[in-house]
Amino acid sequence: MRVIVRTVSELFITVGTVIVLFVAYVLFWTGVQADRVMDDQIDSLQQQWAREPAAAPRASASPAPPKPYSKGKPFAIMYIPRLGFTWNKPVLEGTGAATLKKGLGHYAGTTRLGQTGNFSVAGHRRTYGDPLKDFPKLRRGDAVVLTDGTTWFTYRIDQGPYKTVPTDVEVIDPVPRKSGYTRPGRYLTLTTCEPEWGHSHRLIVWAHLDSTQPVEAGRPKALRR
């Protein structure tokens, strides 16, 4: 009987240790890895932009259409001052599991950054760096600023956080029905999971493009302390 009790006790201790290690991995180590990966994505983008010469305008030729975003690759950096003046995350093309481990993901098929339509982005609430952990703090009037290396785009939140279910795909429509918008415009949708450690629902905020300026003009007002 003592052998059985000791064996069962050791088994419980082993299982408990494995669970604790797994929780530590999910809560801590994935965050460390994700932060490193996101920092690398941002550094890579900034180095790429520094190498790219500014294109000289040619009056006699029509501008070439922009290149499509590359799946799984970063193309912009997002800043949300409400979440902290040091908060910045890379935005990559696509919303697959592997992509969202590296930063925020642009919903393929939604409009390009700054263009007419609904530029829609998703991100993890928890794990993998907790990029949108404080999403519920967002309020109407808050700035969401992005840059693609040539232009600063400042969006202003109009509504949210709005709670819905994952099947409510209308939230990323060109004119989202529940956003309060009634006509085409230059919109931004941000989505993340709800509750904080679950994924049964989604939290949404909608914003409109408030202003743009070239990067040569310096950081936009929303990012100045």
* Residues acting as catalytic residues: 124, 193, 202
CA angle 30, 36, 38 (to 5 degrees): 100
Q: How far apart are CA 211 and CA 225, in angstroms?
A: 18
| Span between the terminal Cα atoms of the chain, in Å | 69
- Answer yes or no: are the C-beta atoms of 129 and 145 closer than 8 Å: no
- Answer yes or no: are the C-beta atoms of 164 and 206 closer than 8 Å: no
Identity at 46, one-letter amino acid code: Q
Which DSSP symbol is given to 217? G
Q: Give the helix/strand (H/E) hosting 184.
A: none
Which DSSP symbol is given to 200? S
Per-residue tokens: 118: 């609904």
Q: How far apart are CA 157 and CA 144, in angstroms?
A: 7
Q: Give the helix/strand (H/E) hosting 44.
A: helix 30-51
- Widest pairwise Cα distance in the chain: 92
